[in-house]
A and B are shown apart, each in its own frame.
Chain A
Amino acid sequence: MKTSDFGFHSFLALGSLALFFLVQSLGGGYYLLVAFYVLQYVVLSTAWNILGGYGGYVNFGTAGFFAVGAYSTVFFFKLFGLQNLKQLDLGFIEISLPYLSFIYFPAAVFAGALFSGLLGLGTGYLTLRLRGVYFSIATLALSIVAMTIVVNWSYVGGARGAFVIKPTVVAGFKDANLFVLCAMILLTMLSLAIARRIEQSKLGAGLQAIRDDEDSAECSGVPTLRLKLQATTISGALMGAGGALFPFFVTYVDPIGAFNLAHTVNSIAMPLIGGMTHWTGPLIGATLLGLIQQYFGSKNIITPEMSLLIVGFLMMLFVAIAPNGLLGLLKRKHKKAHPISATRSAPEKPSQ
């Protein structure tokens, strides 16, 4: 399933515009929340899939990477006293309030990506030389440890949590919330573009080989550790970037919310359900599962815990029965319908 560059970029551009105007015309509010929620998970799932789906290394610490990004925003928010900032004097240019967001949103995303990326690199360096299982377990323990550190760190609010102020006025946007959504849309587009780029690159090809047989890959010349570290860093950085926007949306950040296990479970279940070999998989899985969760949540049919329980069961089900997700099921149906052509084509060609 190879998409042309033009097709891909058009898809992103049109999709984003459509989404944005849809939310705006629906009056924002609840629909904005749903859009933000789904997009956040598109980012997290796509990020997770870079290492998990392409490379086969399961990361159980999404919540940790996400929270590090969120708390980096909180930290810098407090450090620069952003709640009181009315304008920024950079010497050659003076930036007034309505334009401040254009500076510190990208800065926040960058900072979140940086810290989580470093965390990914560090975790990877320490554990990727061992068997894959150790990496997974380390990421699981990592979240807890990160949470312990945050809880003990009063500057960012500790267990009580911290407040981050949403921008009050942003140039060009009637509603500042729409600006936050817009930022998330841009990040989502970036994530999908990065994932697709990786798929088509040497890194993606190498990860596929690693996923199929790592020792064999290493012995035939694939620099496995280097590639795994690249994937872990990029994956972590994207998760951190997603986390960095979180405080601006919820305005109140506490350890329970930031380190919510739902982030971890969803970021695994969504690619699993959607399909792990292609960038569309996490997109499909996140959209589907995210919308379903929001729908049932809004009707109060099920509590958030029940919803998580169901996701957990779904995850186990798919892992056991349909590990290639919905995309895989579709492909299997295609193979059944066209048995001869099926053996003659490779499932996924990294690049031509």
Chain B
Amino acid sequence: MEWSVVGELLANAVVTGILLGGFYAAVALGISIAFGMLDIANISHPAMIVLGSFIAYYFNAQWGIDPLLLMFPAALVFALYGAGLYGLYYRLFESREKDQRRGLAFFFGLLFVTEVGLILIFGVDLRSVDTSYGEVVLSLGFVSIPVRLLVPFLIGIVMIVGLHYFLNKTYFGLAVSAISQDMLGLRLMAIDPIKIKQLTFGLSLASAAFAGAALIIIQPIEPSIGREYIGRVFAVCVLGGMGSLQGTLIAALLLGTAESITSTFVGPSWAPAVGFGLLLLTLAFKPEGLMTRK
């Protein structure tokens, strides 16, 4: 194989990987918020993203609405759902015992119910959206940048930046950052921690709406596709550190690049296993960063 060809392939793989990484950051953000800040292992999050994708699909197929537009009202609805879900979760689990396991099983049930519900409503066929930019590919020399990858990448970047701004510069955002550190302090400031937690969880779910729109722009979807993302999200959050925005972004970019390179040089059907493989390596050789106990 000629080196220039390999070089071109590599360059494209890396670029694709970076774009993909931005998208993965969008996907992982919700879990990073829920788990990193609220210590809630919401494993139904990938299914919520897929739900978001299907909603985008539905509105696109029926009324031709672009997912990029739909994701805003969808995010609001998801946020409200998230706030409500947290209220339920709190009453059922958090207030009773510090037992994460029941909450885990609960969210797994939710994951499962959501997926099967989607199968019942939409069937198992692949669905995709029709957008004006879906087929466009930009070229930078020998590197091609498909817009269907670029847009989700941008969504991811905007989400991370937006959240960073929110958490550090706004009143509610600072309260949210504080929630994971000092509940008593918050109470003394007459802020109801529960309300803040509801807001935070709502944010987490809202991010699923955005990630869902991004997902269906990138690829056609079917109900069980969320499962492929569980490993990826897990890898990103663990590698990047829970709750750390920069960490999530860097880990996501890393994962995207690793997957893309694997896809190009080994084969695309191996992509879902890359994240997990990365994770296994980390766990096997350097688990110290993850060894903090609660």
Contacts and interface: CB of A to CB of B under 8 A. Distances in A.
B269 A313 contact: no
A127 B291 CA distance: 10
Interface string A130-171: 111110111011111100110110000000000000000000
Contact of B273 (A131, A149, A313): A149
Interface string B271-294: 011011101100110010011011
Interface string B109-130: 1101101110110000000000
Interface residues of A, number: 41
Contacts of A268: 105, 108
Interface in A276-311: 305-306, 308-309
Interface stretch (B17-25, B151-159, B226-234): B226-234
Nearest to A136: B104
A145 B272 contact: yes
A319 B238 contact: no
Contact of A127 (B104, B116, B283): B283
B41 interface: yes
B120 A305 contact: yes
B81 interface: no
A60 interface: yes
B106 interface: yes
Contacts of B277: 145
B92 interface: yes
A183 interface: no
B187 interface: no
B293 A215 contact: yes
Contact of A130 (B43, B230, B231, B290): B290
A305 B41 contact: no
Interface in A316-331: 316, 319-320, 323
Contact of A137 (B101, B234, B294): B234
Given A56-B101, A141-B230, A133 B109 contact: no
A215 to B, nearest CB: 7
Contacts of A127: 283
25 contacts: A129-B291, A130-B290, A130-B291, A134-B238, A136-B41, A136-B104, A137-B234, A140-B230, A140-B234, A141-B234, A144-B228, A144-B231, A148-B269, A148-B270, A265-B109, A305-B119, A306-B120, A308-B112, A312-B113, A313-B109, A316-B106, A316-B109, A319-B102, A320-B106, A323-B102
Interface of A: 56-58, 60, 126-127, 129-134, 136-138, 140-145, 148-149, 151-152, 215, 261, 265, 268, 272, 305-306, 308-309, 312-313, 315-316, 319-320, 323
